[in-house]
Structure 1
Amino acid sequence: MIDTYVDERDYELLEADRYTFFVLKRIMGGECKLLLSDHERMILCFTGHPFPVWIWTADDVSEEEMEKVYQLAKEKKLLTGEYHFNIKYSLAEYFIRRAAEDGLELKISTNMFAYDCLNPVKPKTEAEGEIYRCEMKDLEEVVEFLAVFHDEIGIDQKDNNGYRKDAESFINTGNMYLWKDEKGRSVASCKYASAGAMASINLVFTRPEYRRKHYAENLVYQVTMKVKEAGYVPMLYTNADYVASNACYEKIGYVLRGKLCTIG
């Protein structure tokens, strides 16, 4: 039986995948356009366009169970080509194969790593400038960072009103940061969002013209320390194909804990 709500059983299921499905655990408690669970083997959550559909399945998921998940996604009109999914590799392979049988083309667009950082390591190279916590007077600057960031990565893109609403929310948490260089210019961004005992660091972005100056490395380290001081375990997702970025995170103490992928 599939229910349209989650409860403590679902949060317990995600505990074994708390790194790779940290975002799913966080968004399940918010407003969702679609939230389905059998409380044992499958959880499906979709907050709304342009965000991905998150589907959690048990590690030992059977082909019969994957077919049920595929048919559920099809029934909910999620296989129209406009949605992408964050899922485990076993389900991704099945979805790609089944979609092909239905005349649809799905493929992996992003390979993702999930890291945590129990013991932060101070960067060997200190960047010029300092960390800066955003205030509402910085709203338009944060909106611009969001727009450029999402344009570059090509996912979760919105219009300026959408970015402005997000920027207001991020600033109000008190967890939205920029790195100001020695001339006071905002050169990099980073924020964090907590859920339970963990906090996810994201929106890590350096303006193209200011890269290779260790700004992001120093900013992420500083934000990581703030997360630790607040009592959370710092974690983050990365694109597995961004070797240089992943090496940067590993230098400051991040350890690989899990893998998943995005298909679309």
Structure 2
Amino acid sequence: MRIDLTGRTALVTGSTQGIGAAIATGLARAGARVGVNGRTESRVHRAVAALGAQAPDAELVPVVADVSTEAGAREAARVLPEVDVLVNNLGVFEAVEALEISDAEWRRYFEVNVLAAVRLIRQYLPGMSERGWGRVQNIASDSAVVIPAEMIHYGMSKTALLAVTRGFAKRAAGTGVTVNSVIAGPTHTGGVEDLVYELVDRDLPWDEAQRAFMREHRPQSLLQRLIEPEEIAAMVVYLASDHASATTGGALRVDGGYVDSILP
């Protein structure tokens, strides 16, 4: 299958590392002009340089903005007034004992993981609808369905993101714009490496630590390994293409079989 996104402009939030960087790279390799987003100029420009080395012909646009804030969302719109593909990837997570999660943390997780996506959808969906084509994708998590005991606030925010996706897909009905969630399973990123070592013996070599983490904390995984960011990106690139024109309002799993369901 050949995916050609030439002429499309994409914005990937939180794309200086991890899954976001892999998604930005995948979209750029498919021909899209890609906004690379992060909170600091130095991180964004380092990411643009690294992504440019992987996709030499790509047009990469630095978008320095904290899109979890109203001011940051406005700054993103100033840099990229029109976007054809919006990937709401920005998110925070941390293991916290359930009864110790403060009110402030509950609010922060909603602000960053849910409301940031809502703001950007409100910002870009009207233009997509007027042009008759657009792709909105919200990067969710298996934690939206299988709430982790050590990250209830994170799971809550990702469950809310599924509802946001379905609701805005209905709002976009008949416009040529699709709105979907991608449910990412346990993925190999720097942040997840930190989480693994919070939950298993820090003295273990990485391969052993990863296996222990999956065995003890994610035993439902049929893949029995962490997913690589590029595997998540492949689904996002497909959903951004014309090939996925009839897929909307969905929650598509790239979870290694972690969620015990026969439905996507």
Tell me the TM-score normalized by structure 1.
0.28
Larger radius of gyration: 1
| TM-score normalized with structure 2 length | 0.28
